[in-house]
Amino acid sequence: MLAVARGDEPADLLLRGGRVFVPHTREWVDVDLAIADGRVAGWGGRDAHEVVDVGGAALTPGFIDAHMHLESTKLWVDEFVRSVLPHGTTAVAADPHEVANVFGVRGVAALADAARSLPFTFGVCASSCVPASPFESPGAEVGVPELEELIDDVGSIGVAEVMNFPAVIAGDSEFRAKIAAAGWRRVDGHAPGLCGCALDAYLVAGVESDHESTMLDELVEKRRKGMWVFIRQGSASQNLRDLIASVLEHGTDRVALCTDDREPDTLRELGHVNDCVRLAVECGVRAEDALVMATVNPAEYHNFHHLGSLGPGYQADVLCFDTLDTWEPARVWQAGRLVAQHGRMVPGAVPDSAAPEWMRGSVHLPDVVDAADLTIDPPASGTVKVIGVTAGSLSTTAMVVDLGDASVDVARIAVLERHRRTGRIGLGYASGFGLQRGAIGSTVAHDAHNVMLVGTRDTSGPADMAVAAARLREIGGGQVVVLDGQVLGEVRLPIGGLMSDRPSSEVADELTHLVALARWHLGVELAAPFMQLSFLGLSVIPELRLTDKGLVDVTRFELTGVDGRA
C-alpha cells in the first residue's frame, strides 16, 4: 500500500478520468484514483496492473445506510448484499433486533459471522431492548451482560436504538448500564414525537441519534439540541418529504439518510439509499449535499473512519455514475473490486454465506394445536375489547364492540408462543382487516416473533387458524394464507421464522403474490396485511395489542381482559 502510495510500485487498479466527489469540500475534482489492497492508495496517475478509463464519469464514495434492520428485507445477509450493492449501498449500520429476539447473542453473532466474508461493511449494532416489554415472550433476552457480550465479543459498533425511552427518561438502572456499555461507541435512539423536557432527559441520559422524526418541528428541535438525525425513507415510514426543509434551510450537519425498514419489493422497484438521495435531490437538495448525507456523515457518526470519502487511505468503495439523473450507478467497486454494473451483480462477486443450520426449525409449537385451542370464549357481557387496525398506521385503537352487532368488521386473533413450546396462547379480537373468509398467519411478529394468526369470526376461523399454525410449524416459519382448511399460498421464512433463504426477486414475487391471495380469496382490504399483522403483538405501541400472555393495554402498560365491560 505505502509503496503504491509513494509511486514506487504499481497499483492494483487505476480509475482514470473520473470526476471525484470530495465530501469535505463538496467539490468535484478531476483526478485519477490509484487503488491497492482494497483502498485508495493515491491520487494522480500511477502505474497499475489494470486501468479503467471512466471517461469523465462522476465517482463518489459508496452509500451508507445510517440505520436499518436486515430482517425487514426478509433476506439473509448475502442476498441482501446482492440486492443493494447494484444500487450503490456498500455499508450499513444494522440493528439485528428481530434475530436477537429469536436467538439472542448467538443469532447476532451468526449474522455478523456470515456478513464477514461478504464484500460489504455490515456494521452490527447491539440491540438494546429485547424483549420490548415484560408482556412479550421472545426466544432470548438481551440484558446488560448480553449487551456487553455483543459489544466486546461480537464487535458491535454501538448500542442500537434504545426504544424504551420511558425507562431511559425515568433513569432506569438497567438502561443506564446499557448506555454506559457503549463506552466510546455510539448510542442510537428511537424517540418518536419526543420533545421538550422528555427529549432533554433522553439526551442527558446519553442517547445520540434518532430516526423517528415524522414532523419538521420535531426534527428541528432534535437538531438544535445536538442530536444526530437520520431522515428515514422506508417502505412504510416515508419521512423525507416532510423533513427535508430542515436540510434546505440549515444544511447537512449531523444529518444522514436511512431506510430503517425496506421490503424486498421496495428494494427492487425503488432501490435503497440511492432512492433516498434521488428523492432528496428531487426535493431541492444540492446533489453534493445529498451525497454528504449518504456518505461522509453516516461514516462519521458510526466511526466508520475508513469509509465515506475517496481520499488516500479510505476503503475503495467507489460508485461510478455516468449521469446523476437516475442515481443508479453504472459501476460499483467495493474495496477496489468491481461488484456490480448497470444494476446487476457481477456473477460470483458475493459468495454464498448461508445461515447456520441451527437458525432453521425455530418454530416450536405443541404437536397439536387445534381449533378448540384457538377458540375464544366470549364474555357473558357479549361486549369485547377489539384491536382497531387502521390502514397505513402502526398505531392501533382500543375499540369496544358488541359481538351481537354483525355490521362491525371483527376477526379473531391469536398469538402462539413458539420459542419454548410452552403452549401458551393469547386470544382476542381485531378489526380493520376486512377478512371475509379463512385465515392468515405469520411468524414475523414484532418484537417477540411468536406465531400470529387472524381468522374469521365464524366457527371456520379457528379451524383455518389451526391449519395455518400447523403449516407454519411444518415449514419452519413464514407467512401463510389458508381457506377452508387448505393452504392457498405461503412464503417460507425458514431462518428464524424471519428471513428467506431464496433470492431477493423470488421473495419479492412471493410476498406480492401472497398479499394478492389474501385480497382476492379472503377479502382482506389492507394493502399490507402481513406487515400490519406483524405489529399487532408489539406491546409498546399504543393502544391495544395481543401477546401470548393476553391483551395488553399499552396506554396503562398492563395486561387486560377481553371483556369490554370490565
Return residues touching a copy of itself (CB under 8 A).
Answer: 1-3, 5-7, 22-27, 29, 39, 41-44, 169-171, 184, 196-201, 203-206, 208, 220, 223-227, 246, 250-251, 253-254, 300, 303, 305, 309-314
Q: How far is the CB of 24 from a copy of itself (least distance, A)?
A: 5
Gap between the Cα atoms of 327 and 347, Å rounded? 22
Gap between the Cα atoms of 381 and 403, Å rounded? 9
Gap between the Cα atoms of 343 and 321, Å rounded? 11
Gap between the Cα atoms of 51 and 313, Å rounded? 19
Handedness of CA 41, 42, 47, 52 (dihedral sign): positive
Of the two residues 76 and 314, which places its CB atom closer to a copy of itself in the complex? 314
Distances (CA, A) of 295 to 2, 60, 353: 25, 9, 26
Of the two residues 220 and 283, which places its CB atom closer to a copy of itself in the complex? 220
Gap between the Cα atoms of 467 and 475, Å rounded? 12
Phi, psi of 252 (to 5 degrees): -105, 5
Gap between the Cα atoms of 491 and 561, Å rounded? 33
The SS3 assignment for 560 reads strand
Of the two residues 109 and 310, which places its CB atom closer to a copy of itself in the complex? 310
Q: Which residues pair with 19 in a beta bridge?
A: 30, 58
| Site of grid cell 425515568 | 170
Say how many C-beta atoms besides its own lie within 10 A of residue 385's C-beta: 23
Q: How far is the CB of 181 from a copy of itself (least distance, A)?
A: 15
Of the two residues 313 and 485, which places its CB atom closer to a copy of itself in the complex? 313
Q: How far is the CB of 311 from a copy of itself (least distance, A)?
A: 3
Spatial CA neighbour of 222 closest among 235, 233, 213: 213
Of the two residues 37 and 405, which places its CB atom closer to a copy of itself in the complex? 37
Of the two residues 98 and 300, which places its CB atom closer to a copy of itself in the complex? 300
Q: How far is the CB of 155 from a copy of itself (least distance, A)?
A: 12
| Site of grid cell 460489504 | 120
Helix intervals (H) in 273-342: 273-282, 287-294, 296-301
Gap between the Cα atoms of 296 and 22, Å rounded? 9
Gap between the Cα atoms of 14 and 41, Å rounded? 10
Gap between the Cα atoms of 471 and 486, Å rounded? 10
Say how many C-beta atoms besides its own lie within 10 A of residue 462's C-beta: 24
Q: How far is the CB of 187 from a copy of itself (least distance, A)?
A: 10
Q: How far is the CB of 207 from a copy of itself (least distance, A)?
A: 8
Q: How far is the CB of 210 from a copy of itself (least distance, A)?
A: 13
Cell of 199: 427529549
Of the two residues 206 and 561, which places its CB atom closer to a copy of itself in the complex? 206
* 3-state DSSP helix/strand/coil % of the chain, to nearest 5: 30, 30, 45
Of the two residues 61 and 497, which places its CB atom closer to a copy of itself in the complex? 61
Q: How far is the CB of 153 from a copy of itself (least distance, A)?
A: 17
Of the two residues 208 and 548, which places its CB atom closer to a copy of itself in the complex? 208
Q: How far is the CB of 392 from a copy of itself (least distance, A)?
A: 31
Q: How far is the CB of 548 from a copy of itself (least distance, A)?
A: 34
| DSSP label at residue 377 | -
Of the two residues 42 and 139, which places its CB atom closer to a copy of itself in the complex? 42
